[in-house]
Amino acid sequence: MKESIAAKLAALERRLKEIDAKLADPEATNDLDSFRRLSQERSEIEPVVIAYGDWRKAQDDLAAAEEMAKDPEMREFAQEEIGAGRARIEDIEAELQRMLLPKDPNDERNLFLEVRAGTGGDESALFAGDLFRMYSRFAERNRWQVEIVSESPGEAGGYKEVIARIVGHGAYSRLKFESGGHRVQRVPATETQGRIHTSAATVAVMPEADDASGVQVNPSDVRVDTFRASGAGGQHVNKTDSAVRLTHLPTGIVVECQDARSQHKNREQAWRILAARIKDKQVREQQAKEAAERKSLVGSGDRSDRIRTYNFPQGRVTDHRINLTLHKIDAIMDGDLEELTSALAHEHQAEQLAAIAEAR
């Protein structure tokens, strides 16, 4: 193990002891914010410190086996122990390296999910609806809350556009690689000749910004328009200017909210989405800059990239970034995304490790 990594692990071990001492103080709960922060930090550090303890024990076991090998009668048994011990140390070191990778500060945030129909007319809107249902079912499996913020239904069903807020621990970390172009190949319900059509939809996943996230929106840079909401909602919707449109003049980002009955709620929600979109734009520009030096397969979040194809006749889903094909399209469309999201997260970790290795 490199000295720099060993030093960092020893420092984390000391920090865990410090936190335990502070949390054991009878007055620790007097400041609940500080108590929560310390508890969160402890939950992040403890698995690393445990793995570090396992590594040291494996080192001791290896040293004992090497000492045993000096005895001619025990040499054969000791050599087996030495081989197993070295393999275990290698595995633990690889795991520790993954644990020490820099954390995405947005991973634990809630998120805004936007799904938009692309090319393909009515079939594209139906596919956008299917994608939104897929993510909603995935959220249900994880006991996350889904709140529809804005929706524009398709003429034949589905959505031209739908925006939702997903609330749940670690929601962004699990869905952040879903941004991009999604393509579907299937026979539409309206197709009488049985021909396979190809259509597309785009997905954007953005962490919810908060006051401490560094997103500063100058109110003078935003044009605010109010208008009467259209669509479902009863007579009330058509009698008041409850809908809100925000236009961020420097970037041209436009946000509309009209689903809530009150203008105040629509305005509040629109500002939250605007902050998330501005933050998302900043992140994507930074990633594009980094990609010029080293292409990131998974984390670019480029909306123009075709990231995944859903082929219904063949029952398969292919993620083109990691060349992963799964033959269980029905389960995936019903929200079984665990295998996909885990594979993407592992690939991203591999990219981070490779970048660290290149920098040395």
- What string of pLDDT tens digits covers the 360 residues of the chain? 777 778 888 988 999 999 999 999 988 888 888 998 899 889 888 999 999 999 999 999 999 999 999 998 899 999 999 999 999 999 998 888 878 877 777 888 889 999 999 887 889 999 999 999 999 999 999 999 999 988 889 998 999 999 999 999 889 999 999 999 999 999 987 777 888 989 999 999 988 876 545 577 888 899 998 888 765 444 444 556 788 889 999 889 998 888 777 888 888 888 888 888 888 888 777 766 655 544 555 555 555 678 999 999 999 999 998 999 999 999 999 999 999 999 998 888 777 777 665 555
Ordered alpha helix ranges (H), the chain: 3-24, 32-68, 75-99, 121-141, 171-175, 235-239, 263-293, 329-333, 338-359
The correct answer on CATH 3.40.50.10860 for the domain covering 111-351 is no
Question: Residues 49, 33: contact at Cβ < 8 Å?
Answer: no
Question: Residues 132, 98: contact at Cβ < 8 Å?
Answer: no
Domain edges within the chain: 3-99, 111-351
Structure tokens at 178: 């879903």
**Distance (Å, rounded) from C-alpha 240 to C-alpha 257?**
14
Between the two ends of the chain, the Cα-to-Cα distance in Å is 15
Question: Residues 129, 117: contact at Cβ < 8 Å?
Answer: no
Long-range Cβ contact pairs of 240-243 (< 8 A, separation 24 or more) = 242/266
| pLDDT confidence of residue 98 | 79
Q: Which phi and psi angles does 16 have, rounded to 5°? A: -60, -40
Residues with Cβ within 8 Å of 252's Cβ and at least 6 positions away in sequence, in order, are: none
Architecture per CATH, 3-99? Up-down Bundle (1.20)
Give the CA distances from residue 60 to residues 56, 63, 85, in Å, rounded to whole numbers and listed in that order: 6, 5, 9
Q: How many C-beta atoms lie closer than 10 Å to residue 84's C-beta?
A: 14
Does the pTM surpass 0.85? The reply is no
- The single-letter DSSP state of residue 223 is E
DSSP code string of 141-207: HTT-EEEEEEEEE-TTSSEEEEEEEEESTTHHHHHGGG-EEEEEEE--TT-SS---EEEEEEEEEEE
| pLDDT confidence of residue 237 | 45
- The single-letter DSSP state of residue 242 is -
Q: Render pLDDT for 91-126 as a digit per residue (tens, 0 to 9).
A: 998 888 878 877 777 888 889 999 999 887 889 999
Question: Residues 97, 5: contact at Cβ < 8 Å?
Answer: yes
Give the CA distances from residue 99 to residues 82, 103, 208, in Å, rounded to whole numbers and listed in that order: 26, 9, 25
| pLDDT confidence of residue 302 | 53
